[in-house]
Amino acid sequence: MTPEHQNTRAHLLTEQVNVNSANLDRLSTLELVDLFNREDVHTINAIAGARAELAIAIDTIADSLRQGGRLFYIGAGTSGRLGVLDAAECPPTFCTPPELVQGILAGGVGALIKSSEGLEDIASDGAQAMSDNQIGQHDVVVGITAGGTTPYVHGAIECAKQRGAKTIFIACVPANQVASIADIDIRLPVGAEILSGSTRLKSGTVTKMALNILSTGTMVKLGKVYGNRMVDVAVTNTKLLDRALQIVQDLTQLDREAASELLTASNRSVKVALLMHWQQIDRVQAEAILAKNYGQLRVAADNL
């Protein structure tokens, strides 16, 4: 950051005044909704502009997780909360252990529901979070900061690199406004917010889109998906049981009752149930085949 910008953030893209919403408080309710809709188009374009970096990030994360590493999102405020949200969705969607994908938020659990944005200014706290979680060479740390300047995130990225981890930086400002030392630099410039400086809006939306792509893409690479079905779904409630049964029915052509019996026999594992049916084998045999193929149903099925 240049000397003239050290004490101000006015130059940042995320802090600019949006000329399209200059009369926001005079719009009709319908006009307000239409304005949001038009402005949100910028999120799609920003994702398209970062497609190459997102793809590299997915391959990097998948490779690290295959080697026993973990994925960490770290941020403050909205950015940190979005990381926690994405991490929390991985276990039910992909049956991953909770430690595989984790979200770290400045201020901890309490900051999920009560603002503690002042904590984002302490770089050493971000570094301490890396030490506390014993970040190592097989881990990946994704620093998320809409405006790109959050000291907490930069402190975490610097410490993670020193500890040998792969690092990814996500920001909604161009690199010439705020630099990063991360291995992979993902920039998602969505322009000035409708409400000036409120980065929970377009910046938050595009960040959630990027995290959706990173986590889902990674899990696809790790074999957690067959076709476009979440065959590693954790059957932990009625909704997920129904989803699991639908997948089994669709991919086996069994009726509901037979699919339910098969899923029960598989110990509620969709992947095991499918192999049992396709090969007419028992659960132990199906589990052994999956283990031999590193849990990847597609590879296991193609090798049979």
State the catalytic residues: 89, 120
CA dihedral over 185, 190, 191, 196, signed as positive or negative: negative
Residue-wise burial string across 143-168, b where 16 or more C-beta atoms lie within 10 A, e elsewhere: bbbbbbbbbbbbbbbbbbbebebbbb
Q: Which helix (H) or strand (E) holds 3?
A: none
CA–CA separation, 233 vs 238, rounded Å? 12
DSSP one-letter code for 76 = S
CB atoms closer than 10 angstroms to residue 6: 7
Helices (H), 95-146: 123-132
Q: One-letter amino acid identity for 261?
A: E
Residue 165: helix, strand or coil by DSSP? Answer: coil
Phi, psi (degrees; rounded to nearest 5) at 287: -65, -40
Number of C-beta neighbours around residue 26 at 10 A: 8
DSSP-derived secondary structure for 275-286: HHHHHT--HHHH
d(CA 198, CA 18): 11
